[in-house]
Structure 1
Amino acid sequence: MAPKNKENTSGNKKKRQISEEEDDEDYRRRRDRNNQAVKRSRVKSKLRTQQTLERVNQLKTENELLEEKIKMLTKELGFLKDLFLAHAGSSQHSVNFQDVDLNALLAEDTKSVEQMKDTPKS
């Protein structure tokens, strides 16, 4: 085996030092890019979660309003059925439906639905 030349050895150390410094800088750049990507990913995730929660709350409110509307329409349907049966059952009796004010009977239910729309949900 040939003896090592001192100049070659010292030259290799300099190359290794430069290479290690470049590796450190490259590593630092990669870490910084990765850290930025992680931050962006976390922000997007939080935004998606917040949007989902807002949508859930919106749908809950809409569902409550629709349930109230169902109750009101069910009540109206029952009333109209009773009215129809009363009319059909009293063919001998003269029932004057012009005197019945449906709007006044249903106004109370309509007001409660409108109030629910105006009240903010928590």
Structure 2
Amino acid sequence: MPRRGRAKKEGPESGEDSDEYRKKRDRNNLAVKRSRVKSKQKTQETVSRVNELKNENTVLEEKVNTLTKELGFLKELFLAHASNNVDKSKFDGLDLQKLLEDTSSASTSNN
């Protein structure tokens, strides 16, 4: 099986048993190990961060749903109060239905 890379030199110092060659191989082996450990650590950190962000996203989505329900309830409460209120002069220049539609369309467009 042919070897890849540059051709070996001939001579007494060029063999795989030479001290210089062995030192280079040892240094390279250590560098490769460090590189692999660093790469594996970075991958694990990325996976961990992705999981954190997924959990945070789930919590935020639940909060949005809760706040949306609360907003709906408050709108209904406001409309009931506004329709039963004897002093309707406070609401005279306001189109309440339009106002409530605007806020609901703004909240649904944010989703």
Tell me which residue corresponds to 1:58: 59
Cα deviation 1:42-82 (Å, max 9, x = unaligned)? 00000110111111100000000000000000000000001
Tell me which residue corresponds to 2:82: 81
| Count of residue pairs brought into register by the alignment | 79
**Matched letter for residue 63 of structure 1:** V
Name the structure, 1 or 2, with higher relative contact order (CA <8 Å, separation 6+). Answer: 1
Superposed, 1:36-55 pairs within 5 Å as 36-55=37-56
Deviation at 1:12, TM superposition (A): 3.8
Counterparts of 1:22 and 1:40 in 2: how far apart (Å)?
27
Counterparts of 2:67 and 2:43 in 1: how far apart (Å)?
36
Tell me which residue corresponds to 1:35: 36
Deviation at 1:17, TM superposition (A): 1.3
Tell me which residue corresponds to 2:72: 71
Q: Which has the higher helix share?
A: 1
Counterparts of 1:63 and 1:13 in 2: how far apart (Å)?
70
Deviation at 1:11, TM superposition (A): 6.2
List structure 1 segments (4+ residues) > 2 angstroms apart after TM superposition. Answer: 10-14
**Matched letter for residue 17 of structure 1:** S
Counterparts of 2:63 and 2:20 in 1: how far apart (Å)?
64
**Matched letter for residue 53 of structure 2:** T
Q: 1:13 to 1:68 in 2, by over 3 A?
A: closer
TM-score (normalizing by structure 2) = 0.64
**Matched letter for residue 88 of structure 1:** D
CA RMSD of aligned residues (A): 2.3
Deviation at 1:13, TM superposition (A): 4.7
